[in-house]
């Protein structure tokens, strides 16, 4: 049932077809950018950049490597953004897509801060707070209609694949085995399983992927403890006040009658 993207960094050539295809399919406007001494651009994800490639030059005993890393929503199973969304605008579909129903989004931005991968972005104004959250939704409309996500479909060297998550995990494991010692699969277990799996053959830190991503304890505290406690406290107080009213009123009536 659950789907997943497999990103094989060892095949990726950073042609950035995915970056452009994402904008094309999702009707995202271009950013104004600068060359700051790198091929990498835009500098960061934004409300109109849902996917970008990261370029990293690494030199070690094995010579020079030019690493490319996909940067977009990981569609976590244990998704901080979903947990934290006060209006349930960010939600998880059966296929594992972390979807944002922008109608429901109030732009609070809690998801932005709750994401261990720093993915969700807000548009709009910081001052008025009127905003919506934007991020990769794994081309939900395409997936719902049996098509691959735009980035996967466009990938020339076949670095991206899409399918049933268990198939993608199996394929990734096979690829890792084929690549040998340095290779590893990222995303199978992280956050109860990401729906974007990475095959890399350089250390995660070289790819700037968080080694043990986790949803901040604050998010758990807030969502699983504080909120229910809040309802409880308010419930108790409200109940107490109601009781008080009934009792006090009854007494007053009694007292009056007594007079």
Partner 1 sequence: MTHHEVEKYSAGARWFHWTITAAALVLAITGLFLYVPAFSSVAEGGATRIVHRIAAVIFILAPLLFFLMKPGRSFHFIKEIFSWGKDDLAWLKAAPDYYFGGDEKKMPPQPDMNTGQKLWAVVAFFSALGFIFTGIFMWFLKDTLSAGVFDWMVIIHDLCFIVGGAMLLVHLYLGAIHPRMTESLKSMVKGKVSAEYAQSHHGKWYKEVAAREAAAKGTPGGQGKQQAH
Partner 2 sequence: MEISRRDFFKLSGAATAGGFLIYQTLDAQKAAAEASLDLHKPIGEGYTICPYDGSGCGFLVAAEDGRVVNIEGDPDHPVNRGAACAKGASMRQLSADNERRLNKPRYRRAGGADWEDLEWDEALDMIAERIKSTRDANWIENEGESISRRTEAIGCLGGAALDNEECYLLSKMMRGLGLVYLEHQARI
Partner 3 sequence: MTNHWTDVANSDYIMVIAGNPAENHPAAYGHITDAIERGAKLIVVDPRFTRSASKAHLYCPIRSGTDVAFIGGLIKYVIDDMEANPGNYNMTYVTEYTNAAFLVHPDYKGPPDLDGLFAGYDEANRTYGKSKWTYLDAGSTEGNIIPVLYPLAEGGKGVAKKDKTLKDPNCVFQILKRQYARYTPEMVNKISGAPVEKFLEVAQTFAKSGAVGKAGNILYAMGATHHTNGAQIIRSYGILQLLLGNVGVSGGGIQAMRGESNVQGSTDQALLSHIIPGYLNVPVHTDATLQKYIDRVTPKTGDPLSLNWWKNTPKYITSLLKAWYGGAATASNDFAFHYMPKPKSGKNHTHIALFEAMEKGDEDKKEKVKGLMCWGQNPAVGSPNANQTLRALETLDWLVCVDMWETETSVFWKRPGVDPTTIDTEVFQLPALGSYEKEGTVSNSGRWVQWRYKCADGPGDARADLEMLNDLMLKVKKLYDDDAAAPNRDGILSLTWDYAAEGEHVDPRKVLKEVNGYYVTGEKAGQLVNGFANLADNGSTSCGNWVYCGCYVDEASLDAFENANKAAMFPPDNMGNRTARRWTADVGNAGFGSKPEDGYKPIGLYNYYAWCWPANRRIVYNRASVDLNGQPWDTEHPVITWFGDAAGAWKGDVSDGGGKAMVHGGHAPFIMRSEGVGCLFAPNLGTREASLADGPLPEHYEPWESPLDANPLSATKNDPVIKIWRPEEQSTPDEYPIVASTYRVVEHWQAGQMTRNSSWLVEQMPEMFIEMSEELAAEKEIKNGDKVVVWNTRGEITAVALVTKRFKPFQMNGTTVHQIGMPWHWGYSGLSTGDSANVLTPSVGDPNTTIPEYKAFLCNIRRA
CA neighbor of 126 nearest in space, from 49, 28, 47, 41: 47
Which of 145, 255, 257, 258 contacts partner 1 by CB under 8 A?
255
Within its chain, how far is the Cα of 151 from the centroid? Answer: 16
Which of 11, 132, 140, 153 contacts partner 1 by CB under 8 A?
132
Binding of residue 252 to partner 2 (CB under 8 A): no
- For the beta carbon of residue 77, count every other beta carbon within 10 angstroms: 18
In angstroms, give the least distance from the CB of 103 to partner 1: 6
Q: Give the C-alpha separation, 22 to 52, whole Å.
A: 9
Cβ proximity to partner 2, 51 vs 185, nearer residue: 51
Contact 194, 53 (CB under 8 A): no
Binding of residue 31 to partner 1 (CB under 8 A): no
Cβ proximity to partner 3, 19 vs 77, nearer residue: 19
Please report which helix (H) or strand (E) contains residue 166, including its range: helix 165-179
Binding of residue 66 to partner 3 (CB under 8 A): yes
Which of 57, 141, 178, 192 contacts partner 2 by CB under 8 A?
141
Number of residues in the chain: 259
Stretch that binds partner 3, among 90-98, 134-142, 156-164, 166-174 (CB under 8 A): 156-164
- How far is the CA of 256 from the CAs of 8, 249, 252, in angstroms? 82, 10, 6
Contact 193, 54 (CB under 8 A): no
Cβ proximity to partner 2, 142 vs 184, nearer residue: 142
In angstroms, give the least distance from the CB of 89 to partner 2: 11
Stretch that binds partner 3, among 7-15, 102-110, 185-193, 239-247 (CB under 8 A): 7-15
Q: Give the C-alpha separation, 142 to 251, whole Å.
A: 67
Which of 3, 6, 12, 19 contacts partner 2 by CB under 8 A?
19
Contact 197, 185 (CB under 8 A): yes
Q: Which residues bind partner 3 (CB under 8 A)?
A: 11, 13-17, 19-20, 23-24, 29-39, 41-42, 57, 59, 63-68, 156-158
């Amino acid at each position: 049932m659950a789907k997943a993207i497999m990103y094989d960094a060892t095949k990726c050539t950073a042609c950035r077809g995915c970056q452009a295809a994402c904008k094309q399919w999702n009707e995202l406007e271009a950013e104004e950018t600068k060359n700051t001494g790198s091929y990498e651009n835009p500098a960061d994800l934004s409300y109109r950049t849902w996917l970008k490639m990261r370029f990293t030059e690494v030199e070690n005993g094995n010579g020079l490597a030019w690493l490319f890393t996909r940067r977009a929503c990981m569609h976590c199973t244990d998704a901080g953004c979903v947990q934290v969304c006060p209006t349930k605008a960010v939600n998880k579909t059966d296929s594992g897509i972390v979807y944002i129903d922008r109608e429901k989004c109030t732009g609070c931005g809690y998801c932005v801060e709750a994401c261990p991968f720093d993915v969700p972005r807000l548009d709009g104004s910081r001052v008025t707070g009127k905003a919506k959250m934007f991020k990769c939704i794994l081309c939900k409309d395409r997936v719902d209609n049996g098509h691959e996500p735009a980035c996967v479909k466009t990938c020339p060297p076949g670095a991206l694949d899409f399918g049933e998550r268990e198939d993608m995990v199996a394929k990734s494991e096979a690829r890792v085995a084929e690549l040998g010692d340095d290779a590893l699969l990222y995303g199978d277990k992280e956050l109860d399983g990401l729906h974007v799996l990475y095959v890399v053959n350089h250390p995660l830190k070289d790819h700037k992927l968080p080694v043990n991503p986790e949803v901040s304890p604050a998010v758990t505290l807030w969502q699983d403890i504080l909120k229910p406690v809040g309802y409880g406290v308010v419930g108790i107080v409200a109940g107490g006040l109601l009781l008080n009213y009934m009792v006090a009123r009854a007494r007053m009536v009694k007292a009056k009658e007594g007079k």
